[in-house]
Structure 1
Amino acid sequence: MRTRVLRMPTCAGSSPSAPGARSTLESWVRGAAMRTKLRALAVLALLAAQLVAGVCPAEAASPSVHVVQRGETLYSIARRYGTTVEALMRANGLTDPTRIYAGQRLVVPAPGTAQPAAPSGNVHIVQRGENLFRIALRYGTTAQAIARANNLRSTSLVYAGQRLIIPTGAAQPAAPSGNVHIVQRGENLFRIALRYGTTAQAIARANNLPSTSLVYVGQRLIIPTGGAQPAAKPAPAPVQAPTSGKWIDVNLTTQSLVAYEGQRPVYWATVSTGRARTPTPTGRYRIYKKLRSTTMSGPGYRFRDVPHVMYFHGNYTLHGTYWHSNFGRPMSHGCVNLRLADAQWLYEWAPVGTLVVIHR
């Protein structure tokens, strides 16, 4: 039986050795190479555009991490990175600036980090030496209102360069027959009078108080309307106030400090003075030395990098305090403790030779 062999027709170019097949393969290889080059050029163009726009991913602003070394404080770390103690505390969820330890990893916020602006209200950029109280006076509102508008936990936690929303219409209008104010912790008549645009003497007269310093937490005070009323016979001041020049008044009873230019008050702060066993001396003194920062030590304590120190009598000083926040009550070994922002403002404002009057 004869076997028949069937031959399949051969299409042109189906054989690998055919010239047409080689031409097709070479065309495909050249096309693939061209596509690869185009993709590489696209990537290079994208990177170039990012460099021109200043948005290089490797250099985008991001927080850095600092490992705390033995002997360091939040204040010294903040100075090293050009930031503030308050900013470091917020970035790391700290509530006590003294509770850090060697080996702790701290997030250092990137410089220039700003808070987004609210849809309404003015925006104020915090300047060096400012605090919420001073800013509030400028805009006719209160430090508490600004703190609420910016979700701040404390009226002292601001830093240079911070963007603050100034609420519109935050100041409380005076009622026609007089407001009633309930005294809060750390307040005195002077601070309350500044808030309502009157004087401490006028409030004392409206409430039949024998002295401008006799107020207590929870006390209800009538705030007179129409500004200050002239007194027939003003109550005697506890100290003889200068009539010109810069001077500082420290009231041990109210735990407050007021900076004056002549008889005009320009700044107010709550302080912590000496405890019963280590009292702050009373009298009239002069600032004789100023230090940006120094180490303070004594029996049972040693604090490094104490900021904005001003000596007024022996080793007694006015200085910034980062190891406690109990301002408004005696806490010190005799010095006058100030919040960091208050100490910085006072340091920049008061030259050597400024009078310091301390009394009860």
Structure 2
Amino acid sequence: MTRRDKSALIIVAGWLMVAVCSGCASAPIISPPDVPHPLPAFQGSSHKVRRGETLWRIAHSYGLDVRTLADANQLHGSTHLKEGQQLFVPLPKESHRFLWPVLGSLRASSASWVDIAAPAGSPVRAVRSGRVAVACRQLSGLGKTVVLDHLDGHLSVYAGLDQIVVSPGAALKQGMPIGILGSRALHFEIRRGITPRNVLALLPAE
């Protein structure tokens, strides 16, 4: 077992003991950037187009079909996107499938975890609906960490965050923001109890 795997087990075990680390009981609530206000969080968020991104890839990452994303942004005549363009992303219909937590590129992976690189400021989203079991300001080796309990035995772990935007006990819909990335890649896991699942097998193929 690697040091990373041991750290992840500490996260889950700590959640079960309700004592992961100091500062976990009350994570700071910070409004994430690029989430339109006055729109309620349950309606959606916004996405800033990066170089090379296509409407299909963005829609697929958010669990939407292309037509839904195009209609939400009145892109009826063309699907061509410009770098820096802001898209409104409606929350997907409730699904039991897992979504990608952030739109980026794989930096590293194993059978039980993935590290996803994305630009600083990228919002990290709940891969499925659930409640916040852990919102930890500092976990040794992994930094700011959030654990979601999906209430069916599955947990999702989001580590290496720059900011946490949820509090323990909060109920989240699939696709809602849970944190913001800084310079670090997102370390992401899905577990059933303390048993790691094959993350790439559970996420949509890109």
Shorter-chain TM-score category?
A: under 0.3
Q: Which structure has more helix as a fraction of its residues?
A: 1
Q: Which structure has more strand as a fraction of its residues?
A: 2
Work out which of the two has the higher radius of gyration on C-alpha atoms and give 1 or 2. 1
> Which TM-score applies when normalising by structure 2?
0.27
> Which TM-score applies when normalising by structure 1?
0.16
Higher relative contact order (CA 8 A, sep 6+): 2
